C-alpha cells in the first residue's frame, strides 16, 4: 500500500460523503492532483476540526493504491490566505481551473508554486486581473500548451508592438491587418505585454480574450462556473 507522509497540499474542493466524512480534491507538491477521503471529518470530535479549509497551506499524509486515498495526519504549514470579494472569486476560479486541467497524480511542482504565489498576490491586491492573466499563461506553459508570444510563427521575426497578429491554434501568431471584428486578431503590444507580464488596460482586456480562447480549447464544452462571477 502506498503511504505518503506530510506532503505540502492545498484543498481545491470538498464535498460531503456518507454521514460525517468528506471527499477532498487536492493539489500537492510532489503528487499532483489527488483525491482523498477524510473519514469523520464532519464529526463533532473530528481530529480535522477547523483544518480542512480552502486556501490553507497544509502538510498531509495519506495511504492507498486506488484513485481515492485515505487521509491521515494533517498539519498547518502556514496561515490561511485571506481572500475577500473579487479576490475570493478569483481563488475559486484558480481552483476550478486546476481541477479541470490537471490529470490525477501527474506531478507539477511548478504549478503548486505558481498557485501559492498567485494566492499571495490575490491576498494583497485590490485589482486581481493581472494576477489571473499571469496564472493562466504560466499554467498553460507548465502543461505544455505555452503561447509563442515573441515571434511570428511563419516568418520567425520578432513580434512588433505596432503590428497585429492572428492567433492560429497549433501554430501561433501570424502577422495580419487589423480587424476589430475578428476575435482571433491581437495587437503585438498585447502579446509582448503578456510575455513580459506588464499590462495596461488595453493589454489586460486583450490578454483576457486571448487566454479564454486558448483555455476553452482544453476545457471542452463544460463551462467554468466561477467565470460567471468574474468581471
| pLDDT attached to residue 1 | 67
Write out pLDDT tens, residues 134-167: 999 999 999 999 999 999 999 999 999 999 999 9
Sequence-distant (≥ 6) Cβ neighbours of residue 169 within 8 angstroms: 214, 217
| pLDDT attached to residue 220 | 80
Q: How confident is the model at residue 81 (pLDDT cuts 50, 70, 90)?
A: very high
Q: Which residue has the cell 499563461?
A: 137
| pLDDT attached to residue 183 | 96
Q: How confident is the model at residue 225 (pLDDT cuts 50, 70, 90)?
A: confident
State mean pLDDT over 202-228.
Answer: 90
| pLDDT attached to residue 65 | 86
| pLDDT attached to residue 202 | 96
Write out pLDDT tens, residues 51-75: 999 999 999 999 998 999 999 999 9
Q: How confident is the model at residue 44 (pLDDT cuts 50, 70, 90)?
A: confident
Q: What percent of the chain has pLDDT over 70?
A: 99
* Residue 62 β-bridge partners: 4, 71
State mean pLDDT over 117-121.
Answer: 97
- The Cα 41–Cα 51 span in angstroms is 9
Length of the chain in residues, anyone?
231
| pLDDT attached to residue 84 | 93
Asked whether residue 231 carries a pLDDT value surpassing 60, the answer given is no
- The Cα 154–Cα 175 span in angstroms is 8
| pLDDT attached to residue 228 | 73
- The Cα 181–Cα 179 span in angstroms is 5
Cell of 215: 483555455
* Residue 165 β-bridge partners: 175, 186
68-76 and 32-38 beta bridge pairing: parallel
- The Cα 168–Cα 150 span in angstroms is 15
Q: How confident is the model at residue 222 (pLDDT cuts 50, 70, 90)?
A: confident
State mean pLDDT over 208-223.
Answer: 90
User: Which pTM was predicted?
Assistant: 0.94
Q: How confident is the model at residue 17 (pLDDT cuts 50, 70, 90)?
A: very high
Asked whether residue 174 carries a pLDDT value surpassing 90, the answer given is yes
Helix (H) or strand (E) holding 17: strand 3-17
| pLDDT attached to residue 224 | 83
State mean pLDDT over 11-20.
Answer: 94
Is the sign of the CA dihedral 148, 151, 155, 161 positive or negative?
Answer: positive
End-to-end Cα separation, the chain, in angstroms: 46
Amino acid at each position: 500500500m502506498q503511504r505518503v507522509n506530510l506532503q505540502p497540499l492545498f484543498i481545491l474542493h470538498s464535498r460531503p460523503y456518507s454521514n460525517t466524512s468528506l471527499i477532498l480534491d487536492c493539489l500537492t507538491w510532489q503528487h499532483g492532483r489527488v483525491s482523498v477521503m477524510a473519514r469523520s471529518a464532519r464529526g463533532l470530535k473530528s481530529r480535522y476540526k477547523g483544518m480542512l479549509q480552502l486556501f490553507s497551506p497544509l502538510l498531509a499524509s495519506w495511504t492507498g493504491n486506488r484513485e481515492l486515498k485515505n487521509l491521515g495526519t494533517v498539519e498547518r504549514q502556514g496561515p490561511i490566505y485571506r481572500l475577500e470579494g473579487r479576490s475570493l472569486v478569483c481563488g475559486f476560479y484558480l481552483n476550478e481551473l486546476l481541477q479541470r486541467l490537471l490529470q490525477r497524480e501527474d506531478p507539477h511542482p511548478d504549478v503548486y508554486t505558481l498557485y501559492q504565489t498567485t494566492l499571495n498576490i490575490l491576498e494583497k491586491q485590490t485589482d486581481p486581473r493581472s494576477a489571473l492573466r499571469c496564472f493562466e499563461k504560466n499554467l498553460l506553459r507548465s502543461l505544455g500548451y505555452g503561447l509563442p508570444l515573441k515571434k511570428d510563427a511563419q516568418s520567425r521575426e520578432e513580434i512588433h508592438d505596432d503590428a497585429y497578429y492572428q492567433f492560429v491554434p497549433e501554430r501561433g501568431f501570424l502577422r495580419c491587418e487589423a480587424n476589430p471584428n475578428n476575435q482571433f486578431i491581437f495587437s503585438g503590444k498585447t502579446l509582448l505585454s503578456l510575455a513580459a507580464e506588464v499590462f495596461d488596460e488595453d493589454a489586460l482586456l486583450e490578454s483576457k480574450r486571448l487566454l479564454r480562447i486558448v483555455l476553452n480549447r482544453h476545457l471542452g464544452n463544460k463551462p467554468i462556473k466561477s467565470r460567471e462571477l468574474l468581471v
